[in-house]
Amino acid sequence: MDLLLQAHNLTKRYGATVALSEADFELRAGEVHALLGSNGSGKSTLSKIVTGLVAPDAGELRVGGQPRRFASPAQARARGIAAVYQELSLVPDMSVQDNLWLGHEIGGLLGINARETARKTDELLALFRPVAGPRFRAQTPVAELAPDERQLVEILKAVGNRPRILILDEATASLGARQVDRLFELVSGWKAEGLGIVIVTHRMEEIFRIADRATVLRNGRVVGSVEMKDTTRAALVGLISGEAKRALQVEAKAPAGRSLPALELSLRAAERLEALELQVYPGEVLGLGGLQGQGQRELLLALFGALTMVGELKVGGRPHRFAHPAEAMRQGLAYVPGDRNREGLLATRSIFENFMLPAWDGYKTGTVLQVERAQKAVIETGERLKLKYGGLELPITSLSGGNAQKVVLGKWLLRHPKVLLLDDPTKGIDVGAKAEFYHLLNDLRAEGMAVIFNSSDEDELLSLCDRVLVMLEGCIVAELSGAALNRAALVEASLGLKGEEGAKTIGGGEASRP
Amino acid sequence: MTRGKPSGLLSALLTPPVIALALALLLLLLGELYRPGFASLEQIANILRIAAFLGIVAIGQTLVILAGGEGIDLSVGAVVTLGAIIIYRFTGGSDALLLPALLLSLGVGFAIGLINGVGVAWIRIPPLVMTLGMTAVVKGLILVYTGGRPQGATPPSMKAIISDPWVLGIPGDVFIWVILGLGVTFLLQRTAYGKALYAIGSNRTTARLSGIRVERMLILTYGLSGLFSALGGFVLLGYLQNVFINLGDQYTLPTIAAVVVGGTALAGGIGGYAGTMSGALLLTLIASLLFTLGLPEFGRQIVYGLILLVLLAVYGRGRRLRG
Amino acid sequence: MKRLTSQLVAQPYFLALVLMIVGFAVIALFQPNFFQPRTFGNNLRSYLPLICLAVAQTIVVIGGGIDLSLGAMLTLSSVVMVRTFGPEFEVPPDRIAAGILLGLLVATLAGAVNGWIVAYLRLQPIIATFATSFVWGGLALWVLPQPGGNVPQGLQDLVRLNALLPFTLWVVLFFGLGWYFFLRTKGAKALFAVGGNPQAAYASGVNVDLTRLLSYAGGGFFTGVGALFLVGDVATGDPLIGAPLTLASVVTVVIGGTRLSGGAGGIYGSMMGAAVYYLLINVVALAVIRFGWSSQLQTLLTGIVIVLALAGPGLVYLTQQLRRRA
């Protein structure tokens, strides 16, 4: 058997987080090999190492039997490896043709061979012409194309260089059904020509249509590699979700008081969001589940007044419009971001200042701050959070990831919010800090706080939430609670499969989308 | 004594403001060795006074740079000139008109700064381009207001306030500088404005998601920069007793250098006015020493440029593309 | 014809084109002698250094940077030329060649140093090039402390050439043609990609850092060409002459429709922007004379007009935002 690619013991760490741990992977000529796994399982990291976009900390990569280390995507491409990335790698202001050939233009030093380029561009575009719109032409700026057409350009860009290994990382996510059909026709053809194709996707149905083999990752480790003809959908779902034990069993979930919702939203539209409705009650933890990037983050930002939205929002039964987070804060909302370095911390400031940033309102006379009173309050909150720190005036960067995340959450407690919006707050923090966070969340719920909790960790959704809304492509596709809130239902709803075991789907027509 | 302590103490002491101050003292010593009399009391008072002008004008620059986003105000020099000229002309030498003239001058400076802020925050013109363009406008304003030749006089009380020694032969402007220094440090450390300023300089997304109205803060900060520049004009007028068309120009670039030398990062969000004060002292001493050494204009320019570059390389690096 | 018009309106330099035509029209109405062959050539000749700087700044800005040391670089390059030509009135040919080459080399090197600082040391371009502008300015003062020196007659004659068209228009045509062919090279694709989306360019195998460095070096080279024309025009060296042209070069780029954030635009608009810049000054001057305003008002009006031109694209953006919100 002709092995195009072998990866052995690949490991990649980001700070304290292990994204990929001793992963093995191989790709044969003439096969379609699927990489599967839930959020943060390491499948994207693995494909980025293969394409030279990310440098591994350890491990070996062999291409065509030769050991290789790629210092850049250009080097990987020189070895015949091309990739279609999840985040688009196109330059919006440049034309379709210029994007297709960027970095490997046809021609010599004197200039680009215009005629040859045009001919080859037409050849490539013809592959998708029947399933694309009228603007799908060589000279159209990419910015003017629809998202699905941009994705097609991205695919053609990878193919144009006649690679031996092609990596399709969520390449079908924004494509319509006819475009996917056409792509799979082409993939079958390339396979017959002896190409090795790696496909990363969350659409289970596609995997069974096109893949020959599948490798499943969980928590950065390879947990299995199977021939598609020897497996079933249930077996794969089981492999993806694993038998992870619950990190914390909640003693008894208090039935949410169905009196007056703390917050009610009837959304018509917002960036990356379709029409949807939700209510959250005092003393309730409402989970947001699904694959990452399905609009959960945008939903929280829209509620917090940080993204423009169209729709009705009620807080404590009264209608509000928030044009700025400051207005949402005044009504008792608080937002804890997941990307704490980008959105939650002031990296150059002290622990104390990070704590007090949203809370100074309550600690000043006129414009003069009551620093001593604020210090006392911060110390008390620090004790409640079991924060480990050397001193209030030390820089925030002196804290570990878990402790820094406690500050990002704890700063809001000084304001005593009524509604807490959490955007994947435990990502990349250690187990101990997670457990402390879970206890805190339970305490806050007991105090009557309403919590909307987006999490990429299924265990958290299962053990901490009273109800979970599963999101897919900007819609709520399932509402799970009680007995219906279980792992299988969660995974299946996330993948857009028909619900079973009483998982009821809501949201009307949107739920039937692929 | 434990082993950890001295290094902790040392690192607490080795902050940019302290280093700049230590360097300043070292230079003073070197100057004295090279040319006895360099560190005489009279000479020190003189250096303090020159540093005071630079330091007062650099207040606004400190605020604007702390606010981040490539913040910088190149119009400070022109506003210094305009501020001085307004008082010179409006009072015509009358003590009675001094207070209204000062208020007018500060108001005009504030308004010019606000326009800078609107251009930067709302219209999204890069601060450097906006404030450089504003310099041309303010210079035009000065020409229109004075007809090219400023007429007027300095009220006699200004000499008493600014130029004459208060105690120990130390002139008034040095005291004014120290009082302003305390005030600005209080503003930065103990008011909501100061905390918000550091926050937007450190991370605008975090600041916005914590309820801070970033655009308003920016506009106000550029406004304050204009106001403090006009105040610098007031002090400069009290010392010189006279004005000319490009009075303040020579202060624009040294204010930036003073801020950076004092440890305020050009990327924003870290630093403070104490640093700028020691930076102003250090730069004044360097200039004075270079002058004593007979270093010509071109050498001073190159030294300024290189100091800026070296400090930038220490503080303001961007991120790599590759993970 | 209709299609041509709609295509023209869609061009980023459309605003510059309109302003330029209006400017020339106003001047034709109120100052007809502007277009007499001799005066026209003389007027256009004074545009030359800024046209070169506009081209230089455009290249750097498209690549995602900005160079605020171009004015000082122009000065440095010009005084190096004048110093190398030497004090004698009759400059020997080998020294003419040496002066020109050395001047171009110094400017290109200075640009490359800026590019290295920005691309490899990863300093913020605005402030880093602002800092190097002192270094170039200081070096210029060191090379030539006082205005003076000689410029070979041949060079002076060259920029005064008026064969069919004034020399300036030949230069513009030459630059325009060069740009047309440059756009069809790999280098151009890399330049636009690096300015438009550096991550995408990197993922596509473009050497992002090297492209950045070369964009600054290219800017340096065109600044050197500007210095060459400058000394030919003013026939002497001056260690302070270039500084005001830095802001002007940024203004020409903005008026010409090149986005300051990079990845789009071109030199056609910037060269028109250079013409618009001088025409605005000229029109303000005409108005001042016509209405009997003071010459002081002229400085103010010029400043305001330039700030408005700078704010133009931002104002368009702002009104779009407001309209969307409404």
SS (H, E, C) A282-332: CCCEEEEECCCCCCHHHHHHHHCCCCCEEEEEEECCEEECCCCHHHHHHCC
Residues of chain A with C-beta less than 8 angstroms from the C-beta of C207: 74
For residue A40, the model assigns a pLDDT of 67
Q: Give the chain C residue nearest A106 (alpha carbons).
A: C186
For residue C112, the model assigns a pLDDT of 97
Cβ contact, residue pair A54, B323, below 8 Å: yes
For residue C92, the model assigns a pLDDT of 85
Sign of the dihedral through C-alpha C196, C198, C204, C206: positive
Q: B64-86: per-residue pLDDT in tens?
A: 999 998 899 999 999 999 999 99
Determine the distance in angstroms separating the CA of C242 from the nearest CA of chain B, rounded to an integer.
15
Q: How far is CA A400 from the centre of its chain?
A: 23
Contact B111, B79 (CB under 8 A): no
d(CA A153, CA A91): 11
Q: Which residue has the tokens 């949410």?
A: A256
Q: DSSP assignment, residue C203?
A: H
Contact A279, A419 (CB under 8 A): no
Q: DSSP assignment, residue A228?
A: G
Nearest to C254 by CA among C302, C201, C315: C315
> Any bridge partners for residue B317, and if so which?
C123
Q: C228-285: per-residue pLDDT in tens?
A: 999 998 888 888 788 889 888 988 998 888 888 888 889 999 999 999 999 988 888 8
Q: Give the chain A residue nearest C325 (alpha carbons).
A: A308
Checking A503-508 for CB contacts under 8 A at 24+ apart, the result is A503/A478, A504/A478, A504/A479, A505/A477, A505/A478, A505/A479, A506/A476, A506/A478, A506/A479, A507/A276, A507/A475, A507/A476, A507/A477
Q: Averaged over C164-186, what is the pLDDT?
A: 92
Radius of gyration of chain A (CA): 25
Q: C41-64: per-residue pLDDT in tens?
A: 888 888 999 999 999 999 999 999
Residues of chain C with C-beta less than 8 angstroms from the C-beta of A116: none
Residues of chain A with C-beta less than 8 angstroms from the C-beta of C204: 73, 89, 102-103, 157
Phi/psi for A110 (5° steps) reads -70, -25
Q: C20-37: per-residue pLDDT in tens?
A: 898 889 888 888 888 887
Count CA atoms closer than 13 A to A164's CA, side-chain side. Answer: 15
| Straight-line distance from the first to the last Cα atom of chain A, in angstroms, rounded to the nearest whole number | 36
Residues of chain A with C-beta less than 8 angstroms from the C-beta of B5: none
Residues of chain B with C-beta less than 8 angstroms from the C-beta of A367: 191-193
Cβ contact, residue pair A344, B212, below 8 Å: no
Q: Which of C192, C199, C205 sits opposite A103 (nearest CB)?
A: C205
pLDDT at B299 > cutoff 90: no
- CB-based burial label for A6 (10 Å; 0-12, 13-18, 19+): middle
Contact of C193 with chain A, judged by CB distance below 8 Å, is answered with yes
Q: Averaged over C206-220, what is the pLDDT?
A: 95
Cβ contact, residue pair C303, B313, below 8 Å: no
Q: B140-161: per-residue pLDDT in tens?
A: 999 888 887 888 888 888 888 8
Q: Give the chain B residue nearest A56 (alpha carbons).
A: B323
The string over A92-120, giving b where at least 16 C-beta atoms fall within 10 Å of a residue's C-beta and e elsewhere, is: bbbbbbbbbbbbbbbeeeebbeeeebeeb
Contact A452, A422 (CB under 8 A): yes
Residues of chain B with C-beta less than 8 angstroms from the C-beta of A349: 198-199, 202, 269-270
Give residues 69 to 108 of C whose Cβ lies within 8 Å of B. Answer: none
Between residues B305 and A299, the one the model is more confident about: A299
Determine the distance in angstroms separating the CA of A325 from the nearest CA of chain B, rounded to an integer.
5
Phi/psi for B294 (5° steps) reads 80, 25
Contact A411, A354 (CB under 8 A): yes
d(CA A292, CA C9): 42
Q: Give the chain A residue nearest C188 (alpha carbons).
A: A111
Q: Give the chain A residue nearest B264 (alpha carbons).
A: A348
Collapsed DSSP state (helix, strand, coil) of residue A40: coil
Residues of chain A with C-beta less than 8 angstroms from the C-beta of B217: none
Give residues 306 to 325 of C whose Cβ lies within 8 Å of B. Answer: 306-307, 310-311, 314-315, 317-318
- E strands, A132-262, where? 165-169, 196-200, 213-218, 221-227
For residue A98, the model assigns a pLDDT of 92
pLDDT at B3 > cutoff 80: no
Q: Which of C145, C296, C300 sits opposite B137 (nearest CB)?
A: C300
Please spell the DSSP secondary structure of B149-189, one letter per residue.
S------HHHIIIIISEEETTEEHHHHHHHHHHHHHHHHHH
**Identity (one letter) of the amino acid at A444?**
L
Mean pLDDT of the residues in chain C: 88
Contact B172, B164 (CB under 8 A): yes
Residues of chain B with C-beta less than 8 angstroms from the C-beta of A326: 211-213
Cβ contact, residue pair B296, C145, below 8 Å: yes
d(CA A373, CA A385): 19
Phi/psi for A176 (5° steps) reads -80, 170
Q: C107-141: per-residue pLDDT in tens?
A: 999 999 999 999 998 887 877 898 899 899 999 99
Q: Averaged over C177-198, what is the pLDDT?
A: 93
For residue B7, the model assigns a pLDDT of 47
Contacts of C135 by beta carbon, 8 Å cutoff, 6+ apart: B301, B302, B305, B306, B309, C69
For residue B2, the model assigns a pLDDT of 36
> Any bridge partners for residue C237, and if so which?
C148
Nearest to C99 by CA among C152, C52, C160: C152
Residues of chain C with C-beta less than 8 angstroms from the C-beta of A310: none
Contact A29, A190 (CB under 8 A): no
Cβ contact, residue pair B312, C139, below 8 Å: no
d(CA A287, CA A131): 38
Please spell the DSSP secondary structure of C239-268, one letter per residue.
TTSSTHHHHHHHHHHHHTT--TTSS---HH
pLDDT at B5 > cutoff 90: no
Confidence of residue B280 (pLDDT cuts 50, 70, 90): very high
Q: DSSP assignment, residue A224?
A: E
**Identity (one letter) of the amino acid at B32?**
E
Contact of C144 with chain B, judged by CB distance below 8 Å, is answered with no
Q: Averaged over B45-56, what is the pLDDT?
A: 91
Per DSSP, helices labelled H in chain B are 4-13, 16-34, 41-66, 76-91, 98-121, 127-146, 156-158, 172-190, 192-202, 204-209, 214-240, 252-261, 273-293, 297-315
Cβ contact, residue pair C184, A88, below 8 Å: no
Count CA atoms closer than 13 A to C198's CA, side-chain side. Answer: 17
Contact of A216 with chain B, judged by CB distance below 8 Å, is answered with no
Residues of chain C with C-beta less than 8 angstroms from the C-beta of A72: 202, 205
Contact of C128 with chain B, judged by CB distance below 8 Å, is answered with yes
Q: Cα separations (Å) of A116 from A78, A90, A97, A98, A103?
A: 21, 22, 12, 13, 16
Q: Is ipTM > 0.90 here?
A: no
Q: Cα separations (Å) of A354 from A106, A335, A349, B212, C170?
A: 53, 14, 7, 13, 61
Q: Which chains touch B (3 or more CB pairs under 8 A)?
A: A, C
Q: Which residue has the tokens 């603007």?
A: A135
Q: Which of A325, A353, A364 sits opposite B208 (nearest CB)?
A: A325
pLDDT tens for each residue of chain A, 514 residues long: 578 899 999 998 876 667 888 889 999 999 999 998 876 678 888 888 888 888 888 899 898 888 888 888 888 888 899 888 766 688 988 999 999 998 888 887 677 888 889 999 999 999 998 888 888 999 999 988 887 888 899 999 988 878 999 999 888 877 877 888 899 999 999 999 999 999 987 777 788 889 999 999 888 888 888 898 888 877 887 787 765 434 444 444 545 455 788 999 999 888 888 899 999 999 999 999 887 778 899 999 999 999 989 999 999 889 999 999 999 999 999 999 988 888 899 988 999 999 999 999 889 888 899 999 999 999 999 998 888 888 888 888 888 778 888 999 999 999 999 999 999 888 767 667 788 888 899 899 998 999 999 988 788 888 899 999 999 888 899 899 888 888 888 888 887 775 443 333 333 333 333 3
User: Could you give the percent of chain C with pLDDT greater than 70?
Assistant: 95
Q: How far is CA A307 from the centre of its chain?
A: 18
Nearest to C111 by CA among C223, C234, C28, C275: C223
Q: Which of A54, A324, A345 sits opposite B203 (nearest CB)?
A: A345
For residue A304, the model assigns a pLDDT of 94
d(CA A94, CA A114): 16
Count CA atoms closer than 13 A to A254's CA, side-chain side. Answer: 17
Q: Give the chain A residue nearest B203 (alpha carbons).
A: A346
Cβ contact, residue pair A91, C192, below 8 Å: yes
Q: Which two tokens stand for residue A410?
A: 């704890």
Contact A359, B211 (CB under 8 A): no
d(CA A497, CA A490): 10
For residue B21, the model assigns a pLDDT of 82
Q: Which two tokens stand for residue B160?
A: 């008493």
Residues of chain C with C-beta less than 8 angstroms from the C-beta of B309: 117, 123, 128, 131-132, 135
Contacts of A293 by beta carbon, 8 Å cutoff, 6+ apart: none
Residues of chain B with C-beta less than 8 angstroms from the C-beta of A360: 192, 195
By mean pLDDT, which of A299-303, B269-273, C308-312 is the weakest? Answer: C308-312
Contact of C169 with chain B, judged by CB distance below 8 Å, is answered with no
With left for phi above 0 and alpha for psi between -120 and 50, is residue A312 left, alpha or beta?
Answer: beta
Contact of A358 with chain B, judged by CB distance below 8 Å, is answered with yes
d(CA C259, CA B124): 12
Question: B98-121 vs B76-91: helix axis angle to the nearest 10?
Answer: 150
Give residues 149 to 188 of C whose Cβ lies within 8 Å of A. Answer: 181, 184-186
Mean pLDDT of the residues in chain B: 86
